[in-house]
Amino acid sequence: MTAKIPAAQYAVIGGSGTYSINFPDDLNRSDIEVINRGTVFKTPYGDSPPMKFFRLGDKSVATVKMHGWRPGVSRGAASQQLFWVFREAGIEKIIAEGGVGSVNHLLKPRDLIIPSDYIDLSMRKDVNLGQPYLLVMRRAVCPDIVGALTGVSESIYGGRVFDRGVYAVTDGRHFESRAEVVMLDRTGADIVGQSMCPEVYLAREIGACYGRVDIVVNYAEGVIRDWDHAELKDIFYGLSSKVASIVIEAFGKLRTDHNCGCRELRKDTLLK
Ligand SMILES: [Zn+2]
């Protein structure tokens, strides 16, 4: 189906934190009204993943499940499709969420991290929308989104919340080996996951602010003890409503004024 892309300023990139629920419907909030669901848009990179648009008070929000990843589509292409739709919709603030492994030995399952930086060890770096910009990643995530997520998480999460951390990005889909986790620890990574890149670059390319909140769902291999599949499953299914509430409440604190300075980190290219 070819559909017209609705205008929206805010976006939620759903990950494993909200995968098990129907987001945002299952929150049953009176200030949420779903406008359309399961809508697929034509993009230059192939059909978009099914997307949902909803109203949150006076804000329009776009959302997608599990980063737009789906069988038969490379994750890089899925991200290009998603961010092309975001750009056309006019998205200005993006919150992503996900589940991560703990590399830092001070972390444990169920800790909540709002990452402040990343190390991209994935092989899918050449993913872009072809716009002529020099993208400065000096301050990768938006300080306003970090502030909003931290404040909300500390008041409603009920577990440990960390307002900084370095996210190492790997390709997946498998988890890392013990030797790889030792390497990640030595590079300065605190957590490991598969989704912060290329999302953080693509957000900068379209001029949108990006921030994210991640739940530690397992110890990385060789850290503390072998992780437990039952516990991972319990976190995966048990904390979804909380993660969803944190994201929605954080949007309530955000404005599209761009005083955060993120857009100044997108410069004109010198390559003509
Ligand atoms: Zn910003």
Give the distance (Å) from ligand 1 centre to CA of residue 105.
30
* Ligand 1 mean position, distance from CA 182 (Å): 33
Distance CA 194, CA 180 (A): 14
Phi/psi for 2 (5° steps) reads: -100, 125
Asked if residue 98 belongs to a domain, the reply is yes
User: Is 4 within the bounds of a domain?
Assistant: no
Q: Is residue 186 part of a domain?
A: yes
In a domain, 195, yes or no: yes
Cα(168) to ligand 1 centroid in Å equals 21
SS3 category, 202: helix
**Range(s) of the domain holding residue 168:** 10-268
In the chain, the number of structural domains is 1
**What's the N-to-C CA distance of the chain in angstroms?**
37
CA of residue 218 relative to chain centroid, distance? 18
Look at residue 2 and tell me if it is in a domain. Answer: no
Q: pLDDT tens digits for 250-268?
A: 999 999 888 999 999 999 9
Q: Residue 2 has what pLDDT?
A: 60
| Residue 228 in domain | yes
Sequential pLDDT tens for the chain (272 residues): 567 999 999 999 999 889 889 999 999 999 999 999 999 999 999 999 999 999 999 999 999 999 999 999 999 999 999 999 999 999 999 999 999 999 999 999 999 999 999 999 998 878 999 888 999 999 999 999 999 999 999 999 999 999 999 999 999 888 999 999 999 999 999 999 999 999 999 999 999 999 999 999 999 999 999 888 898 888 888 889 999 999 999 999 999 888 999 999 999 988 87
pLDDT value for 17: 86
Residue 175 in any domain: the answer is yes
CA–centroid distance, residue 219 to ligand 1 (Å): 31
Which regions of 132-179 does DSSP assign to beta strands (E)?
133-135, 161-162, 166-169
Q: What's the 70 CA to ligand 1 centre distance in angstroms?
A: 29
Distance 215 CA to ligand 1 centre (A): 22
CA of residue 209 to ligand 1 center, whole Å? 4
Residues with CB under 5 A from ligand 1 (ion): 142, 209, 260, 262
Q: According to the model, what pLDDT value does residue 214 have? A: 97
Residue 211 included in any domain: yes
Dihedral-angle region of residue 90 (phi above 0 means left; psi in -120 to 50 means alpha; beta otherwise) = left
CATH of the domain at 204: 3.40.50.1580
Residue 263: asked if its preceding bond is cis (omega within 30°), the reply is: no
Using alpha carbons, select from 46, 84, 61 the residue that is nearest to residue 13: 61
Give the distance (Å) from ligand 1 centre to CA of residue 137.
Answer: 12
**Nearest CA-CA partner of 254 in 57, 15, 47:** 57
- Please tell me the distance between residue 141's alpha carbon and the centre of ligand 1 in angstroms: 7
| Residue 111, φ and ψ in degrees, nearest 5 | -65, 150
Under 8 Å between Cβ of 164 and 87: no
